[in-house]
Structure 1
Amino acid sequence: MFTSIAGRSVVVTGASRGIGRGIAGVFAAAGARVLVVGRDEDALASTVAELTQAGGEASAVVCDVRDREQCDEMARTALARHGGIDVLCANAGIFPSARLEDMKPADLDEVLATNLKGTVFSVQACLPALTESGRGRIVVTSSITGPITGYPGWSHYGASKAGQLGFIRTAAMELAPRAVTINAVLPGNIVTEGLEDLGQDYLDQMARSIPQRRLGTPADIGNAALFFATEEAGYITGQCLVVDGGQVLPESLMALDEM
């Protein structure tokens, strides 16, 4: 039985929709006080309404993680509302498609600024409060795309997600004396608004390439993040957990046929 995290202060970036919304929902259901963070005020309000109607405690703050000053204000808001920060889920990310021959400098800058710099800025902003907590936990949402796999059109996205893993390994050493852990969850294909926009044929094809024959849910990622936030995970830092239904395991489509 895991130690309860009820009453702990949790900040989730990119929580207005998709995986971030799922992460926030899992923590709220576990009794945490959740600050949902994003750029879309209306979407954030919808997330807060959903969590509170389910019996959770949640509030929102608008923040663009590309801006360090806004990240600092995000941390101050968590301190003002919750009295501290125990867990940061650095989840904010974007995944626009652009092939190398078409990718403009602005395309690369936007992805790296949100996915990689936004992660670093969020950690920096919350670090004093996480240290003060005495049991600080940071969970970064990376991806299988970049660290393990590739997909045409997402080279900038893959680079940003691989960069997050390089960041957490050194950050883990720097943060260990502060009793703060930092780990990453690597989602496979998760059913969110973004994937649904790619069409049902894409979703069906992806499900056929996964040994469990289904795509994941945002709650699957939230459960992994919740584990990293527990007392029982306190001796784990600088590590990665792949949550993909076995997607990266087959060496070929023939291997799936042999199942």
Structure 2
Amino acid sequence: MMLLEGRIAVVTGASRGIGRSIALTLAEQGASLVINGTREDLLLDLAAEVNALGQTCVICTGDVSDQETAHKVAHTAIEHFGCIDILVNNAGINMRTSTLEMDTKDWQKVLDVNLNGTLYLCMAVLPHMIEKNYGKIVNVTSTTAKTPHRNAAPSYGASKAGVNYLTQHLALEMAKHNIYVNAVCPGPIDTDMSKQWTQEYRQQAIARIPLGKLGTPENVADTVLFLASKMSDFITGESINMNGGTYMN
């Protein structure tokens, strides 16, 4: 039996990279999906792959920083499937300016997508999970939420730290409804963005990782799968590090 057989999952930021891998992993384990992103063409390609796995996949385009997107995503899931079992808040953006170089509009944009977008989706989905008396929410944050990184703008770390706190707060509030809320904190992951690094920077980044390698989107997806399945039925309010040992606690 597949780990998520019969479950309905929503995945934001699913167009590419980590979000795409999460969507495919959940589908491989039996989940039907509503996938969100801003690129309809990429979502359609992903939906076709999910359908080829034998699972139903519905797309819902939109920017999560707009609260209406959250309402549209939840409505789409209920309209097509009648319930929402799993929410994966993966949508996020990063900027790489230092504090004094950063425009305050950029600060606000990062918080709007990463922190507010997560809150909006949770607020839209939670009433349906409460009605069912079950739900699994997994927020994708970052090691930068716990320790600063020179290659990330302060807005990024602050937004992800906010998501980590929101994860704990919602876990406390929602436990009585049998709703689990956890976060995954990836470190350096080999995505399209990391492929743009110079060879020198790539070697420096790998040298700082105790395991001596970058993570993969599939590594993140496997951790999300664990938290979305019954394997994690005594875990809530946690922010799980998965970064090759670059940050340990």
TM-score (norm 2): 0.94
Q: Which residue of structure 1 aligns with residue 227 of structure 2? A: 228
Q: Distance in 2 between matches of 1:172 and 1:163?
A: 14
Q: Distance in 2 between matches of 1:49 and 1:98?
A: 37
Q: Residues 77-226 of structure 1: matches in 2 within 5 Å?
A: 77-226=76-225
Structure 1 residue 148 displacement after superposition: 2.7
Structure 1 residue 248 displacement after superposition: 2.1
Q: Which residue of structure 1 aligns with residue 238 of structure 2? A: 239
* Equivalent position amino acid for 1:177 in 2: K
**Which secondary structure state, in structure 2, belongs to the residue aligned with residue 36 of structure 1?**
strand
Structure 1 residue 208 displacement after superposition: 2.1
Q: Distance in 1 between matches of 2:22 and 2:132?
A: 21
**Which secondary structure state, in structure 2, belongs to the residue aligned with residue 224 of structure 1?**
helix
Q: Distance in 2 between matches of 1:187 and 1:179?
A: 26
Q: Distance in 2 between matches of 1:90 and 1:113?
A: 13
Q: Say if 1:145 and 1:151, in contact at 8 Å, map to a contact too.
A: no
Q: Distance in 1 between matches of 2:179 and 2:54?
A: 29
Unpaired runs of 5+ residues, structure 1, are 250-259
Q: What is the count of residue pairs matched by the alignment?
A: 248
Structure 1 residue 94 displacement after superposition: 0.3
Structure 1 residue 69 displacement after superposition: 1.6
Q: Distance in 2 between matches of 1:203 and 1:45?
A: 32
Structure 1 residue 152 displacement after superposition: 4.3
Structure 1 residue 54 displacement after superposition: 4.2
Percent of aligned pairs with the same residue?
Answer: 37
* Equivalent position amino acid for 2:140 in 1: T
**Which secondary structure state, in structure 2, belongs to the residue aligned with residue 16 of structure 1?**
coil
Q: Say if 1:33 and 1:58, in contact at 8 Å, map to a contact too.
A: yes
Residues 152/190 of structure 1: CA separation in 2 closer, same or farther (3 Å cut): closer
Structure 1 residue 80 displacement after superposition: 1.2
Structure 1 residue 49 displacement after superposition: 2.3
Q: Distance in 1 between matches of 2:200 and 2:76?
A: 43
Q: Say if 1:3 and 1:232, in contact at 8 Å, map to a contact too.
A: no
TM-score (norm 1): 0.90
Q: Which residue of structure 2 aligns with residue 14 of structure 1? A: 13
Q: Which residue of structure 1 aligns with residue 68 of structure 2? A: 69
Residues 4/44 of structure 1: CA separation in 2 closer, same or farther (3 Å cut): same
Q: Distance in 2 between matches of 1:203 and 1:83?
A: 45
Unpaired runs of 5+ residues, structure 2, are none
Q: Distance in 1 between matches of 2:90 and 2:162?
A: 14
Residues 103/180 of structure 1: CA separation in 2 closer, same or farther (3 Å cut): same
Q: Say if 1:65 and 1:114, in contact at 8 Å, map to a contact too.
A: yes
Give CA deviations for 1:202-234 in whole Å, capped at 9, x if unaligned.
323222221221111111111111111112312
Residues 104/175 of structure 1: CA separation in 2 closer, same or farther (3 Å cut): same
Residues 3/54 of structure 1: CA separation in 2 closer, same or farther (3 Å cut): closer
